């Protein structure tokens, strides 16, 4: 077990990611289709910031529960409500509903105060306009378009258009699944959630660029007489960066879990819960898509090029003739080890 862990940390493992990804991609495609279907069938549970309405905050007491608050709202003729207990310095009930009439809001505030056994002055009421949510959504759409265009140009100039396409497909995969999870489970979407979705794209691209950069470095290390296929090259690169990807994901998940557990459950900061939940989903699927979506797609496109087709034919011929080509597939890893190791200093002549 320990030897396997040491091998993983050194990047000496030789897992065939590309072959496995061909099977895994089917599951990803099915999951994306289900998420998109849920988006059109069930829709999204948009928060009050997008639909508009009113918010009441009532001091919470031991004798009153969330069900009691919901019953008060129903008696006032408001059925579509959301009641939350916000913990902090003083526990309060936060009630959200679509009520536009000012007199109705005041009447509801009085009923809530009577139920909680507090004065009406202790119940805060505020109105939320749907224009705020519309503005956030509009800016998010603009940011998304600009982001995708700039990233496509950057990746095309730094790498090539095939890698840019693979990265963008992986980003679309992550966003589709993240939004789909919110649609399937009808989790409320707030402006904080929208910001988290935009953050997810940046994280997904970072992990993917690390993989692409390693593939490019290893490709430069290949000799002109090498019979390494692009699939072998990608597998070597993925094995090299696997531990880095795992460590990055772990260090990213830890603060997000802290926001969920400490910030949301203990301190009652619901805005952190909405933001951290989306981030957690995005980090998990972002790490997955870098290994099993973006890179395999690039491998498939690169394998269609004449040069890599010739490499594949030469490698297959060598295998059938009994030649050993496994050492050649490790050439990139050996090159990385040599270049990463410190060079010995040359000793000068003594005078």
pLDDT in tens, 274-293: 778 888 888 888 888 888 89
Residue 349's pLDDT is 44
Q: What CATH number was assigned to the domain covering residues 53-128?
A: 3.30.70.260
| 92-97 β-sheet, strand order | 81-86, 92-97, 53-59, 124-128
Residue 207's pLDDT is 84
Q: Using an 8 Å Cβ cutoff, are 69 and 84 in contact? A: no
Residue 45's pLDDT is 82
Q: Using an 8 Å Cβ cutoff, are 96 and 108 in contact? A: no
Residue 279: half-sphere exposure toward Cβ, Cα within 13 Å: 23
Q: Where in the chain is the domain with CATH 1.20.1640.10?
A: 2-45+131-310
And the tokens for 200?
């997810």
Please tell me the distance from the alpha carbon of residue 37 to that of residue 179, in angstroms, as a whole number. Answer: 11
Residue 37's pLDDT is 93
Burial annotation 51-79 (CB, 10 A radius, 16+ → b, else e): ebbbbbbbbbeeebeeeebbebbeebebe
Q: Where in the chain is the domain with CATH 3.30.70.260?
A: 53-128
pLDDT digits (tens, 9 = 90+) for 164-204: 999 999 998 988 898 888 888 888 888 778 888 878 888 78
Helices (H) and strands (E) in the chain, counts: 14, 6
Q: C-alpha distances in angstroms, 166 versus 4, 24, 171, 296?
A: 31, 16, 9, 8
Q: Using an 8 Å Cβ cutoff, are 86 and 94 in contact? A: yes
Question: Which of the two residues, 192 and 325, has the higher pLDDT score?
Answer: 192
If pLDDT is split at 50, 70 and 90, which confidence band does 242 have? confident
Q: What CATH number was assigned to the domain covering residues 2-45+131-310?
A: 1.20.1640.10
The least confident of 76-85, 156-165, 173-182, 239-248 is: 76-85
Please tell me the distance from the alpha carbon of residue 227 to that of residue 241, in angstroms, as a whole number. Answer: 23
Instruction: Give the rounded percent of residues in the chain with a pLDDT score beyond 90.
Output: 10
């Amino acid at each position: 077990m320990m030897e396997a862990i040491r091998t993983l940390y050194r990047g000496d493992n030789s897992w065939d990611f590309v072959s496995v990804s061909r099977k895994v991609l089917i599951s990803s495609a099915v999951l994306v289709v289900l998420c998109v279907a849920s988006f059109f069938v069930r829709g999204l549970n948009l928060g009050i910031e997008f639909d508009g309405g009113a918010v009441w905050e009532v001091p919470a007491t031991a004798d009153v529960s969330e069900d009691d608050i919901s019953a008060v709202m129903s008696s006032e003729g408001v059925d579509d409500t959301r009641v939350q207990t916000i913990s902090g310095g003083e526990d309060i009930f936060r009630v959200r509903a679509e009520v536009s009439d000012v007199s109705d809001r005041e009447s509801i505030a009085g009923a809530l105060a009577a139920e909680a056994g507090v004065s009406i002055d202790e119940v805060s009421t505020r109105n939320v306009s749907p224009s705020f949510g519309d503005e956030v959504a509009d800016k998010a759409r603009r940011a998304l378009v600009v982001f995708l265009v700039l990233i496509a140009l950057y990746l095309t100039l730094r790498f090539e258009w095939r890698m840019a396409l693979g990265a963008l497909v992986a980003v679309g995969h992550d966003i589709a699944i993240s939004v789909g999870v919110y649609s399937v489970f009808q989790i409320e979407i707030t402006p904080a959630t929208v910001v988290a979705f935009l953050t997810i794209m940046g994280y997904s691209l970072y992990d993917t660029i690390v993989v692409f950069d390693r593939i490019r470095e290893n490709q430069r290390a290949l000799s002109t007489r090498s019979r390494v296929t692009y699939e072998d090259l990608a597998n070597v690169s993925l094995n090299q960066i696997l531990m880095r990807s795992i460590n990055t994901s772990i260090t990213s998940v830890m603060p997000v879990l802290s926001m969920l557990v400490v910030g949301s459950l203990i301190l009652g900061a619901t805005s952190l819960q909405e933001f951290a939940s989306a981030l957690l989903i995005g980090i998990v699927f972002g790490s997955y898509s870098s290994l099993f979506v973006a890179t395999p797609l690039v491998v498939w496109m690169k394998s269609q090029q004449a040069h890599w087709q010739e490499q594949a034919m030469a490698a297959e011929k060598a295998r059938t003739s009994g030649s050993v080509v496994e050492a050649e597939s490790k050439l990139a890893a050996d090159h990385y080890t040599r270049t990463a190791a410190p060079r010995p200093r040359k000793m000068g002549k003594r005078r």
